[in-house]
Chains A and B, each alone.
Chain A
Amino acid sequence: MSDSTKKVSPQRLAWEKHTLEPALSKSPERQKEFTTVSGYPIRRLYTEDDLAGWDPARDLGSPGDPPYARGIHATMHRGRLWTMRQFAGFGTAEDTNQRFRYLLAHGQTGLSTAFDLPTLMGYDSDHALSEGEVGKCGVAISSLADMEVLFDGIPLADVTTSMTINSPAAVIWAMYLAVAEKQGADWKKISGTLQNDILKEYIAQKEYIYPPEPSMRLVIDTYEFGVKHTPKFNVISISGYHIREAGSTAIQELAFTLRDGMEYVEWALRRGLKVDDFVPQLSFFFNAHNDFFEEIAKYRAARRIWCKAMTERYNSQNPRCWALRFHTQTAGCSLTAQQPMNNVVRTAIQALAGVLGGTQSLHTNSLDEAWALPTEFAATLALRTQQIIAHETGVTNTVDPLGGSYFVETLTNEVEQGAWDYVRRIDAMGGMVAAIEKSYPQREVAEASYRYQMAVDKKEKVIVGVNDYVTQERPLDILQIDESVAQRQAARLRKLRADRSSAEVDRRLTALRKAAEGSENLMPFIFDAVKAYATLGEICEAMRTVFGPYEEVAVT
């Protein structure tokens, strides 16, 4: 509903005339326009006038009931706190295994694995293109042997693990399942999340290997495999996080993520899967940026959109499909290299938005992440931030404390509307894969990111310590990863290749290649290759020979 058609109450008119106008004439407001961090306009005051046509029974509902605006569980964080899941990974599998054990010992309740760039791109640590990158942005995993070390002494039957891996997701998941099998953990009971969201790679993070078509096939292969063998595992985490980090607005993050979700559903339906069987294993992942209320509105709108899409667009009969479950990570792109201690404050407020928005799990960034991967000190402080929100602030005492706020409900409506507009535009283009091939979401994000940067450069948006309140500082003590990680990985790969049966590896890679040429589900072939200690690089290369590489059209 636009402002011009809105009915204004007599009370509001009287206030404007007798109270507001004199106040404004005495002291004007600080700015002509107030906007969110996304540049979305915010009005002076929200009242019941803004909610004309809003039906609390239909649009708000009750917690645990459709449309889930108030959260997906009846008791929300009174019943169970969110999972505190700190993303970790650096160096070799041994290094990260130690960090995992440390985090679990300090009250973290789930694991989340960061892989290094060679792993994310499907290259072994000793590949020429891996030079300088091994173990830097995450842990280096080149084979099942590395995965065995990564989870050594961590019972996969009891711990839920999230793995941030996309293009090679099927291979890394196969390694994880092989470790679980070796530990004697029941696949039917193990739980965790595979990121496995290739669409947002083309849109934002750009860690793709193959073109969209075969990549989508691999994703749907994992759904099919997961429905059958690992009913408790989230086979995908449909991610807005990276779209936002690439510079999108909140509405773009919401719209592209949910439209990605619909794209996966539609590809799975075409494979012959049934909505009510596989959708319960889909999960979502959003960013928590600086603009507190915009973020909360985004999470609430996300749940409403998904519920509507499931019930109206896909005729789902299973309520477990309707409720959008999501992970939240505070915004890495909001952290400043300058005055890094300020990042603790930013992160705390962003995390609070995630909690008030009804998140199921949360990662809080560390203060030093504009410089490097976190030190143990910084990572612990980030975890403590969540524990303070959970146990000291009182915000978990009641369900959806912001429900019914004129501002929050209006913003939720507007953000939802904005997202549906994008969904319709992408539908008209023929879906998300078609839109990506036209560079549509890429261009929208690049535009938004440039607009934001110009606003910061012109100081229309103040960033404390960066374009205002600037001081001289001393450098931080940061985590440095040296090249010995690459040498240790190379030595381990040499040994692996010498110890395994290369005839068996060749046989299984050939079988995988043949299957890739046809239309069979590739998961069993990948699993076989992994168990013979074929490396990540070898497996990805086998598929690359069939699928070919993907090159994007760079949009600037």
Chain B
Amino acid sequence: MPEKKIRVLIAKPGLDGHDRGAKIIARALRDAGMEVIYTGLRQTPEMIASASAQEDVDVIGLSILSGAHNTLCPQLMKLLREKGMHEVTVLVGGIIPEADIPALKQSGVAEVFLPGTSTQNIIDFIHKRLASAR
């Protein structure tokens, strides 16, 4: 039987409209055989949490370039916990100062990908992470 496809939700929280990165990741993951849902722009943490629950995704990828990550990420992580979605892997990509990364990981973010990351690195990370969880 073919293995179940990995399901990923790519979202852009906050007011920022710079969606180049989010779209590239969505397409690269799709080309790598994953099922990708791209939410489009300006999603609140509530919208992202309920879309993730509804779509039953394995991975949530957040693209944030506006500096609002310290506000938006903890809000989303709290909502996911409230929904009992402890298994979902949350990844953050974008412009994130290195000093902010430990706190984001503390809040439950699995990994933060900075500018210059190759799409293959992200694909590999997801495969490894989900393989060890299964």
Contacts and interface: CB of A to CB of B under 8 A. Distances in A.
A552 B115 CA distance: 26
Contact of A206 (B26, B41, B66, B114): B41
Interface residues of A, number: 47
Contact of B98 (A475, A551, A554): A475
Contacts of B39: 554
Contact of B15 (A117, A456, A466): A117
Given A129-B15, A132-B72, A552-B41, A137 B67 contact: yes
Contacts of B38: 554, 556
Interface in B95-134: 95, 97-99, 114-116, 118-120
B54 interface: no
B16 interface: yes
B23 interface: yes
B23 A449 contact: yes
Which of under 10, 10 to 19, 20 to 34, or 35 or more describes the interface residues of B?
Answer: 35 or more
B95 A370 contact: yes
A333 B26 CA distance: 19
Contact of B14 (A133, A337, A457, A483): A133
A247 interface: yes
Main secondary structure, interface of A, reads: loop
A308 to B, nearest CB: 31
A287 B93 CA distance: 24
A457 B115 contact: no
B41 A457 contact: no
Interface string B1-43: 0000000000000111111100110111010000010111110
B118 A132 contact: no
Given A207-B17, A554-B41, A132 B23 contact: no
A96 interface: no
Interface string A451-487: 0011011000001011100000001001011010000
B20 A370 contact: no
Interface string B45-87: 0000000000000000000001110111000000000000000
Given A118-B15, A132-B14, A456-B118, A556 B23 contact: yes
Contacts of B17: 201, 205-207
Most chain A beta carbons < 10 A, residue from B17, B40, B68 = B17
A556 B18 contact: no
A457 B70 contact: no
Closest 10 CB pairs of A and B: A132-B71, A206-B17, A132-B68, A136-B67, A554-B40, A117-B15, A466-B116, A337-B115, A556-B26, A475-B98
Interface of A: 117-118, 120-121, 123, 129-133, 136-137, 201, 205-207, 245-247, 333, 336-338, 370-372, 446, 449-450, 453-454, 456-457, 463, 465-467, 475, 478, 480-481, 483, 551-552, 554-556
